[in-house]
Amino acid sequence: MASLVAYEDSDSEAETELAGGFHPASQMEDTSTAVRPPGQDFGSRVLDATGGRAPSPERGSHDDPARCRLPLARLWSQDPGSCPSQRLQWPRPEPEAAFPASLPARLSLWTSQAPAGHVPLAGACLKQVRVCWETSGSPELSVGARAGSEGPGKSGSSLQRKRCEDCVVPYTPKRLRPLPAPHTGADRGKDAEAQGPHAGRVPAPLCVAPEASEFIQPYLDSQYKETKIPKKVLFHLRGHQGPVNSVQWCPVSARSHLLLSTSMDKTFKVWNAVDSGSCLQTYSLHSEAVRAARWSPCGRRILSGGFDFALHLTDLETGTQLFSGQSDFRITTLKFHPRDHSVFVCGGFSSEMKAWDIRTSKVVRSYKATIQQTLDILFLREGSEFLSSTDASSRDSADRTIIAWDFQSSAKISNQIFHERYTCPSLTLHPREPVFLAQTNGNYLALFSAVWPYRMSRRRRYEGHKVEGYSVGCECSPDGDLLLTGSADGRILVYSFRTASRARTLHGHTQACVGATFHPVLPSALATCSWEGDIKIWH
């Protein structure tokens, strides 16, 4: 029997002994003669772990070395992988090891009489031994069957729990696994704080008063007069959690108190930047940074594109998405067609630009060039032609820096426009003269003709600001007399368009000012945004 407890595959000698019959007395006698380490036996090892004093072994001599078997407890301590539950298949009903209170202190874990159903007591006791590692780092064995500590029900549950721990859990495919429990409102709020705004959330309708702002109303019926350079900050708008990429006033005069801002925090916002300086709505439709967003010409919709390859057209009054498309590249710029407002062109981290039709949600045209990224797009008069600036900046890149395209045929009209080895992160069109300006990484603004062959002016150049790799925007005033640009050092510079001289410098931001725009109605208001995530309204 001792060989049955110690090993799963016993030898032929053990089989001969078992065939001779089984007697409890012989079992105890055979077990007691098994080889034990000097100074301790199986019972002493368990009692030592519980804090008791280890009794001296009663038998120190070994009469028959041929019948020696390695005790089960010693085998387990030397090889942790040879757990009894893994080596032996014990019957499921396991009796509880109960010790009479009348036994002396030198108690042996081997009983003198075999219980009903006879399950080896060593296996029952060993299944309840558990190693507990304390903070001091020393292992402490805790025997589950202590006198008076647990009842029969608790002991059975602990044995069942131990058996489950020893069993191998089969692999369950993901599609067959149970779904996690739904989160409560508090948990959902914590997740939102930890992960940021959720992409794809349906925005609420934008509540805007039907009448125009009281500050804008006096200017609606009169012609735009001379632009005045602002001197002080009217509102300091904070709300974005990342750099602000661009700002744009609503193109409709009656709703021009609304300001649109895009940010690297995966959102774009609509502000009341004239009356209160408050955020009216935050749109979290993208899962990545929102680099480009534009007002529709009607002033009631916003077209947005981000680094998640997604395009969305959102109706502000209902909060619904009228159009959703998936591009095959990250979006960095997009513009509506000046004539057909259902068509827009977008570009980004790709060698081609694509024209989408909102009515069919399909790509209608594609414009491909040997480039890696499109930085900006600018439609010329009537929308039959448009310009694109790229990231090409090598010495032989005269055919890739600024390209003129025919919108209908997708053919290149001219690729010999800008011959200097600088990229142009932004383009802007003059409101009254047939010229356009390009912001260059050479820290100056270049002036070009807006008609073929698109020659660059050699006599007029606007210098004094810094670009330094940022996508710094530029814009002309509504009357065309002033030119506005940001700077990588946080300044806002205003130039005279006629003389190219610096009219004023505004110190408004601590980090790069990447966006600046004049108000379309108010003659002395402008908005600026910076890489630190704030927006300022100047008046």
Question: Of 124-138, 299-313, 500-514, where does mean pLDDT reach its minimum?
Answer: 124-138
Q: Tell me which residue has tokens 């310009």.
A: 387
Residue 421's pLDDT band, with cuts at 50, 70 and 90, is confident
Q: Say which residue, 28 or 388, is predicted with more confidence.
A: 388
CA distances from 535 to 213, 269, 296, 425, 507 (A): 20, 11, 22, 20, 13
**CA–CA separation, 39 and 36 (whole Å):** 8
In Å, how far from its chain's centre is CA 22?
A: 68
Residue 158's pLDDT band, with cuts at 50, 70 and 90, is low
Q: Are strands 301-306 and 290-295 parallel, antiparallel or unpaired?
A: antiparallel
Q: Tell me which residue has tokens 């448009």.
A: 386
Give pLDDT tens digits for 91-112. Answer: 454 444 444 444 444 443 344 4
Highest mean pLDDT range out of 37-41, 117-121, 147-151, 209-213? 209-213
Q: Tell me which residue has tokens 């721990």.
A: 165
Mean pLDDT (whole number) for 408-432 = 92
**Two structure tokens written together for 344:** 């827009």
pLDDT of 397 reads 55
The answer to whether the CB of 70 falls within 8 A of the CB of 6 is yes
The answer to whether the CB of 166 falls within 8 A of the CB of 80 is no
pLDDT of 341 reads 94
Residue 428's pLDDT band, with cuts at 50, 70 and 90, is very high
**CA–CA separation, 495 and 320 (whole Å):** 41
Residue 41's pLDDT band, with cuts at 50, 70 and 90, is very low
Mean pLDDT (whole number) for 42-66 = 42
pLDDT of 159 reads 53
Give the SS3 label for residue 200: coil
Sign of the four-CA dihedral 314, 318, 320, 323: negative
Concatenated DSSP letters for 132-195? EE-TTS-EEEEES--TTTS-HHHHHHHHHHHHHHHSPPPP--GGGSPPPPPP-HHHHHHHHHHH
The answer to whether the CB of 402 falls within 8 A of the CB of 386 is no
Q: Tell me which residue has tokens 């602000």.
A: 244
**Does the pLDDT value for residue 432 go beyond 60?**
yes
pLDDT of 293 reads 97
The answer to whether the CB of 304 falls within 8 A of the CB of 292 is yes
Give pLDDT tens digits for 209-241. Answer: 556 788 898 888 888 878 999 989 999 999 999
**CA–CA separation, 327 and 346 (whole Å):** 9
The answer to whether the CB of 337 falls within 8 A of the CB of 344 is yes
Mean pLDDT (whole number) for 62-87 = 45
Mean pLDDT (whole number) for 72-82 = 45
69 conformational bin, left if phi > 0, alpha if psi -120 to 50, beta if neither:
beta
Nearest to 462 by CA among 428, 498, 434, 431: 498
Residue 43's pLDDT band, with cuts at 50, 70 and 90, is very low
| Contacts by 219-224, CB closer than 8 A, 24 or more apart | 219/253, 219/521, 219/522, 219/523, 220/253, 220/254, 220/521, 224/478, 224/479, 224/521, 224/523
**Does the pLDDT value for residue 457 go beyond 80?**
yes
**CA–CA separation, 168 and 297 (whole Å):** 65
Give the SS3 label for residue 85: helix
pLDDT of 395 reads 59
Residue 330's pLDDT band, with cuts at 50, 70 and 90, is very high
To 10 degrees, the CA torsion angle through 32, 34, 35, 39?
A: -10
Residue 38's pLDDT band, with cuts at 50, 70 and 90, is very low
CA-based radius of gyration for the chain: 41
Question: Of 91-100, 335-344, 419-428, 436-445, where does mean pLDDT reach its minimum?
Answer: 91-100
**CA–CA separation, 126 and 131 (whole Å):** 11
Give pLDDT tens digits for 281-305. Answer: 999 999 999 999 999 999 999 999 9
| Whole-number average pLDDT of the chain | 75
User: CA angle, 306 as apex, 302 and 312 as ends, to 5°?
Assistant: 35
163 sits in which H/E element: helix 152-166
Q: Tell me which residue has tokens 């395209």.
A: 405
**CA–CA separation, 184 and 365 (whole Å):** 47
Beta bridge partners of 401: none
